[in-house]
Amino acid sequence: MARMLRLIDPSDTPPPVAYRVPWFVRRTDPSHPVVINGSAESADFVRVFRDDRPDEGTQLWGQVLPTEDIELCLCAADIDDVVVTLAWFRPTDGLEYVWRFVV
């Protein structure tokens, strides 16, 4: 049986600091949430998907700069059921990240 825990060796390299998702959502108007890049770095090749409108396809936002905000129109959506997914790349590591939210 494999052991789940082990002693921490002070000479071990610590794990990398977790990456904080750059987005926050202003939900003043649930039908028009505003997505804001709250980080100090840009998000590259940003794409937005909605699970309630697969026929609508992907919204391409491109590069979203720090403090930039973008309003989503969810007028035709059932606000209680829609899930919005953002996908983007970080310029520092080139990795793709994905984050989902509900209104």
Q: Which domain holds residue 30?
A: 23-102
Strand order in the sheet with 59-64: 59-64, 43-50, 83-89, 96-102
Is residue 15 a part of any domain in this protein? no
pLDDT of residue 4: 74
Domain harbouring 54, CATH code: 2.60.40.2890
Is residue 8 a part of any domain in this protein? no
- 87 close to 74: Cβ distance less than 8 angstroms: no
Is residue 67 a part of any domain in this protein? yes
pTM of the model: 0.82
pLDDT for residue 95 is more than 90: yes
- As a whole number, mean pLDDT of residues 74-79 equals 90
| Number of structural domains in the chain | 1
Q: What are 28's two structure tokens? A: 């003043």
Separation of alpha carbons 92 and 19, rounded Å: 11
* Helix H or strand E segment including 76: none
Q: What are 103's two structure tokens? A: 């209104």
